[in-house]
Amino acid sequence: MKKINSNQITDYFLSYLKTLNEKQWEIRITNKWDVHDVVAHIVGWLEEVLAVLPKSWESKEEPWFMKTDNYAEFNQANVEKYKNLKPTDLISKYVELNNKLNILIDKIGEENIKLDQRFSWVLDDGENNHELYHFNQIKEKLKA
């Protein structure tokens, strides 16, 4: 089976999210978060990566999120930040930030990023892809 890259996962995930109705966006995925919250969380991470990648690439220092396992406060802040966006607007924000990230990656050079193991978090092409994890989580709950 051919390995899919993070851009393909994002495309599949966004296409899937566009098929959901309002009620589906409100379905609980975890004991704390519904579909909207999970997507807001991902959007927040895209925003953070966009903010730290240029500085991190320049300094070659790991960003804060590579030095901790405690993301609860950061994640909840993003859920709160985007809670009033309609699903269509949240998807638009997701697309906008993802496009900006792809432009930034192209500017740095995907091959340059791949050559520096300290930046494996940028491309997120491994088996533990963040978006894929949440995509599967949502699909599993919505089929139940």
Q: Output the tens digit of pLDDT for each of the chain's 144 residues.
A: 345 578 888 999 999 999 999 999 999 999 999 999 999 999 999 999 999 999 999 999 999 999 999 999 999 999 999 999 999 999 999 999 999 999 999 999 999 999 998 998 898 766 678 999 999 999 999 985
Q: How far is CA 130 from the centre of its chain?
A: 6
- Using a 10 angstrom Cβ sphere, with 0-12 exposed, 13-18 middle and 19 or more buried, the burial of residue 63 is middle
The token duo for 13 is: 């995930």
Q: For residue 2, what pLDDT is reported?
A: 46
Q: For residue 1, what pLDDT is reported?
A: 38
Long-range contacts of 138-144 (CB under 8 A, 24+ apart): 138/16, 138/29, 138/35, 138/38, 139/16, 141/27, 141/28, 141/29, 142/20, 142/24, 142/27, 142/35
Instruction: Report the domain count for the chain.
Output: 1
Q: Would you say residue 109 lies in a domain?
A: yes
Q: Would you say residue 21 lies in a domain?
A: no
Q: Would you say residue 105 lies in a domain?
A: yes
Q: How far apart are CA 67 and CA 65, in angstroms?
A: 5
Q: Would you say residue 51 lies in a domain?
A: yes
Q: For residue 8, what pLDDT is reported?
A: 87
Q: If you ran DSSP here, which 8-state letter would residue 117 be given? A: G
Q: For residue 124, what pLDDT is reported?
A: 77
Q: Would you say residue 69 lies in a domain?
A: yes
What residue numbers bound the domain in which 123 lies? Answer: 6-10+30-143
41 and 75 in contact (C-beta within 8 Å)?
yes
- Return the sign of the alpha-carbon dihedral for residues 64, 94, 142, 15: negative
